[in-house]
Amino acid sequence: MFTCKYAFWESLRRPGKTLFVALVVALSMLGWLFINAYAKALFSAHEKVMRPLKDARIDFLVTSPRTDAGKNLPAGGNEVTFVEEKGQITPGQRFTKDEINLNSLRIFSSREMAEIAEYPSISQLVPALIVQVTRTEGRYPEKIVVEEETVAPLSPEEKKAIDAKLKSNPEYQALSGKYAELQGKVAANSASEEEKKQLQETLRKMQQIEYSYYPERFKKFKAKEIKPPPVKASQTRFVVAGIDATNPDFGLLSKAEIATGSYFSANNAAEVILRKDFAEEKEIKIGDVFSLRDKQLKVIGFAKPTTGLSSAEVYLPLGTLREVVKNEGANVLLVRLKGVERAAKFKETLAKILPDSQVVEPQEMSSQISGALGKTEVLIKEYASFLVAVIVLASIVIVTISLVLTLTARRNEIGVLKVIGWSHFGICRQVAAELVIQTLFGILLSLAVALVLLVVVNNLDLKLNIDFNSVEKNIFGSEYKTFELFHPQFDWVAFLKGSLAALCLAVTVAFLTVSVFNWKTPFKKMEQRGE
């Protein structure tokens, strides 16, 4: 206690020296803390990129992209002209039209898929279908122009001529006879079901013959033609992935990636899983109905994909999507091999079966994407220790010089302590206590400065852009993603380690300095004068 009190007052008596030592210690500590914080931030950034791709548990992702695919939509709305030929448009009614683009990736033929599946090294082959949907949404105009055309009725002469021609047609005559006979049976309630059907069929054939004798104007007749004006409609594009629901643990969306709700019940169920952010943006809830073209799908869950293999917003069971797009194929093949060592051989075989295919290896892809991060991390790891060593060494030298100067100035005081019975250890302990207090000031200073600086650094909004474009645009959908990865955080463990090391070094420096210089008495000068 006395030692601490003495050391504290001594540190206050020499504020300049105390501040100097504290600053040196604080600078060293800041260097250590920032190197640690940055190394850790880079490491976690590296991990963040690597993890999803590593977790994919897929050896190959095979696609065959088309070069003419992927035209971007203009921003905002589009002028869309509707010509409704079949149904009736209700003015002011909302409409949704989904245009499905299957052209970005080539559809693999069943023969090609069968050939790949036959490869003996394949452990699992899962097909998937990825389509881009352009959704046009808007409202029909309130006023729609309807043009009506009237056709002149048949004149008596025309009717007479048609009747004459029909009577002379032997086929028509036979049909008329059959019709009269069947109608008689129906009237007498003696007709069988088969005969009733024959009656309808006979009538249809007779009408066809009659129609062929009618003038041309009747054949081109259109009762109404609706000509709605162009409407302002908004267009959005999203990616829909059809996934094999029979493989819930393997593929573009696994069961583990469902954030809320459930996974598909069957491969042809009228169910849909939406990416969580997409659902939030569209304000869709679980249980709502999501339509794709005319297919009504029940929203059963929200997904948070972690593998990074697909950036689809909408997931459907493969069978359901095939039904919607009226295509039984697959344009993405997910392959798991029996052993990684067979990868090179498999790639060779694949190149023969599908010469135009593109193979993505998640492991390789992860290395490509995070390569720069990995290098930086290694750089930090390799050079940080050297840098820290230089900083610490420089600090030790500076603090030692400062201590020597101070002790020289306090030579008399140290001598007095010896005279009144203080041992060498006692003096070392006293000097060490003083240095420990000054080091503690430095540690506290570094803590305050580091916390403030890290807040400033993190407010600079540093981000890392990872270019996915070079990897596979069609699979990832977006051209590149921005991850908010780089957030150096205060590392309390590093701080405690650094503090402990600084305090240990302070004690060591104090003991060594006092021992090496070993001030004996305060009276050297007097002795030299020979008093």
Partner 1 sequence: MIKAVNLSKTYKMGEKKVEAVRKANFEVDKGEFFVIEGVSGSGKTTLLYLLGGLDRPSEGTVEIDGQDITRLSENQLAKFRLKNIGFVFQTFNLIPTLNARENVEAAIVPTGMPAAERIERAMNLLKAVGMENRWHHLPGKLSGGEQQRVAIARALANNPKVVLADEPTGDLDTKTGLKIIEMLKELSLNNGQTVIVVTHAPYVAEYATRRAKMEDGVLTFAD
For partner 1, the binding residues (CB under 8 A) are 1-3, 5-6, 9-10, 12-13, 412-413, 416-424, 426, 520-523, 526-531
List, as own/partner pairs, every contact residues 425-432 make where C-beta atoms lie below 8 angstroms and the sequence separation is at least 24, other chains included: 427/514, 428/510, 428/511, 428/514, 428/515, 429/3, 430/3, 430/6, 430/7, 431/403, 431/407, 431/510, 431/511, 431/513, 431/514, 432/506, 432/507, 432/510, 432/511
| Dihedral sign for Cα atoms in the order 76, 79, 83, 87 | positive
Nearest to 259, CA basis, from 239, 286, 240: 286
Q: How far is the CB of 392 from partner 1 (least distance, A)?
A: 30
- Shortest distance (Å) from residue 5 CB to partner 1: 7
- Of 165, 284, 144, whose CA–CA distance to 214 is shortest? 165
CB 444, min distance to partner 1, A: 22
Could you give the CA distance from residue 298 to residue 317 in angstroms, rounded to a whole number?
Answer: 12
- Closest contact distance (angstroms) between CB of 520 and partner 1 is 8
CB of 338 or CB of 520, closer to partner 1: 520
Contacts (Cβ under 8 Å, ≥6 apart) of 195:
182, 185, 186
Query: In the complex with partner 1, which residue's Cβ is closer, 115 or 413?
Result: 413
Nearest CA among 32, 49, 5, 15 for reference residue 480: 49
**Closer CB to partner 1, residue 357 or residue 430?**
430
Structure tokens at 3: 């030692």
> Taking the complex as a whole, how short is the minimal distance between the CB of residue 400 and partner 1, in angstroms?
22
Q: Say what angle helices 170-187 and 193-212 make with each other, to 10 degrees.
A: 140
Among residues 314, 316, 310, which one has the least CA distance to residue 481?
310
Burial class (CB in 10 A: 0-12, 13-18, 19+), 120: exposed
* Cβ closest to partner 1, residue 335 vs residue 417: 417
Residues with Cβ within 8 Å of 106's Cβ and at least 6 positions away in sequence, in order, are 64, 65, 66, 331, 356
Q: How far is the CB of 432 from partner 1 (least distance, A)?
A: 15
Q: Which position has the token pair 């005081």? A: 413
Give the C-alpha separation, 123 to 335, whole Å: 8
Comparison of 106 and 429: residue with beta carbon closer to partner 1? 429
Closer to partner 1 at the Cβ: 255 or 418? 418
- Containing 231, the helix (H) or strand (E) segment is strand 231-243
- What single-letter amino acid sits at 488? P
Closer CB to partner 1, 419 or 500, in the complex = 419
CB distance 70 to 474 below 8 Å: yes
Burial class of 308 by CB neighbour count within 10 A (0 to 12, 13 to 18, 19+): buried
**Residue with smaller CB distance to partner 1, 151 or 416:** 416
Cβ proximity to partner 1: between 294 and 531 the closer is 531
Q: Closest approach of Cβ 514 to partner 1, in Å?
A: 13
The distance of closest approach from Cβ of residue 453 to partner 1 in the complex, given in angstroms and rounded to an integer, is 35
Of the two residues 240 and 514, which places its CB atom closer to partner 1 in the complex? Answer: 514
The whole-angstrom separation of Cα 500 and Cα 503 is 5
Which one, 296 or 515, has the nearer CB to partner 1?
A: 515
CB of 508 to partner 1, least distance (A): 21
* Cβ at position 34, least distance to partner 1 in Å: 36
Burial zone of 335 (CB within 10 Å; 0-12 exposed, 13-18 middle, 19+ buried): buried
Minimal distance, residue 447 CB to partner 1, in Å: 27
